[in-house]
Structure 1
Amino acid sequence: MRWEALFADLEAQLEAALAADRAAEISELTRAERATVLLADRLRSARGADVALLVAGGATIAGELVDLGADWALVGDGGRRALVPLQAVIAVRGLPVRAAPAPGAVARRLGLGSVLRALSRDRATVRLATEWAELAGRIELVGADHLDLVTGVDAPRSGAPMWTVPFAALRVVRSD
């Protein structure tokens, strides 16, 4: 009888130790998995939800997270839309803890330049907010890391004043 109690106690101790090891392993794997999550993955899981993006320069862009690309977020507030480069985001309010799976190959290629080229192709009037200035006009051309903005929107293309703006300087792009 004493032997059976001793073996039962040893077996219970072994099961408790195995359970503790499993719990520690699960915690470690969870931390390792969370360490691979990008901000874009968490933003993607918030698509359709209300968020607030605090951008460099102090502006807060709040509204529904309409769409998301590899390096940009589109936030809508009623009929207005704001394109925010993720590099300009300082903080986000309203994100769920979970992350969405990584996007497919096509979505990963739709970077900020692709969206800006679409605005250029549509000849949309835009307002570009940088940390130090706001510029209004039409995007004339989009390079790999910059755009040319024609500020005299009524002037002919050839003689219109133009600003060249690096993507790194962009904080928010709004179309009128």
Structure 2
Amino acid sequence: MRWESLFDDMETSFAAASEAELESEIAEAVRLERSALRFTDRLRASRGSEVHLVVAGGRRVSLTVGAVGEDWLSGAEGPREVLIPAGAVRSAVGLARRAETERSHARRRLGITAPLRQLLRDRAQVVVFGAEGILAEGLLLEVGRDVMEVLPAPPGEIPRRRAAQGAVAVPLAAVVMVSGA
């Protein structure tokens, strides 16, 4: 009988050790998976939800998350559509606990210049914010690799391209948010 008791104790100890090892391996796998998550993946999983952001310069932005790209997010801040470089976000409240990676290889490669060029094609009137406040306001005139040009114009007025010498060049690194005028 003592032998049976000894074997039962050994079997119980072995089962407990195996279970603890499995739990440890699962915990490590979860840590590894979470370490690969990107901020934009959490934003992508939050599409359609309201999030509260603080961007460079301390500006607070509450928006319903729309499209999310490689290094940017867009959404509605009240009635206005906004585009925010992910690098300008200092904190976020309300993100989904899960993450969603972009499945499309082509969309995964779209940087912030892609939505800016769409605004350019639409001849959009924009307000460009930097950390210090408004950097430019008017017609989006050009979008380069690392710079955008805005032709100053009052809201609702479409300026002529002949006035392009008055365009304001804004390095994309200085942009905290772009919104519709």
Scaled by the length of structure 1, what TM-score is found? 0.94
RMSD of aligned residue pairs (Cα, Å): 1.4
| Residue 156, structure 1, aligned to residue 180, structure 2 | no
* TM-aligned CA deviation for residue 154 of structure 1: 4.8
1:155 CA displacement = 4.2
The answer to whether structure 1 residue 173 and structure 2 residue 161 are counterparts is no
Q: Distance in 2 between matches of 1:155 and 1:23?
A: 65
Q: TM-score, normalised by structure 2?
A: 0.91
Distance (Å, rounded) in 2 between the aligned partners of 1:101 and 1:126: 29
Q: 2:141 corresponds to which residue?
A: 140
User: What amino acid sits opposite 1:157 in the alignment?
Assistant: R
CA–CA distance in structure 1, aligned partners of residues 132 and 13 of structure 2: 65
The aligned runs of 1:16-35 (5 Å cut-off) are 16-35=16-35
Question: Quick check: 33-42 or 159-168, which moved more?
Answer: 159-168
AA of the residue aligned to 2:150: L
How many residue pairs get aligned? The number is 176
Q: Please tell me whether the aligned partners of residues 61 and 75 of structure 1 are also in contact (alpha carbons under 8 angstroms).
A: no
CA contact (8 A) 2:63 2:75 kept: yes
Deviation at 1:156, TM superposition (A): 2.7
Q: 1:62–1:75: 8 Å Cα contact kept in structure 2?
A: no
- Distance in 2 between the 1:51 and 1:107 partners? 23
Contact 2:53 2:91 in 1 (8 A): yes
2:131 maps to what in 1?
A: 131
Taking a change above 3 Å as real, the CA distance of residues 89 and 20 of structure 1, as seen in their structure-2 partners, is: same
Render the CA deviation track for 1:109-139: whole Å, top value 9, x for unaligned: 3221011111111111100001124120111
1:51-62 maps to which residues of 2 (within 5 A)?
A: 51-62=51-62
Which portions of structure 1, spanning 4 or more consecutive aligned residues, are displaced by more than 2 angstroms? 152-156
Contact 1:56–1:89 (Cα < 8 Å) also in 2: yes
Could you tell which deviates more after superposition, 28-37 or 151-160? 151-160
Hey, what does 1:110 align to over in structure 2?
A: 110
Distance 1:95-1:154 versus aligned 2 partners, 3 A rule: closer
What is the CA deviation profile of residues 48-104 of structure 1, one whole-angstrom value per residue up to 9, with x for unaligned ones?
111011100111110211221111111213421111110100011101211113331
Correspondence for 1:86:
86
Instruction: Calculate percent identity across the aligned residue pairs.
Output: 37
Unaligned regions of 5+ residues in structure 1, if any?
none
Whole-Å separation in 2 of the counterparts to 1:59 and 1:133: 9
Counterpart Cα distance in 1 of 2:87 and 2:69: 12
SS of residue matched to 2:67:
strand
State the SS of the aligned residue for 1:57.
Answer: coil
- Secondary structure of the residue aligned to 2:142 is strand
Q: Is the 8 A contact 1:124 1:138 kept in 2?
A: yes
2: distance between equivalents of 1:41 and 1:103? 11
Gapped regions of structure 2 (runs ≥ 5): none
State the distance in 1 between where 2:122 and 2:81 align: 15
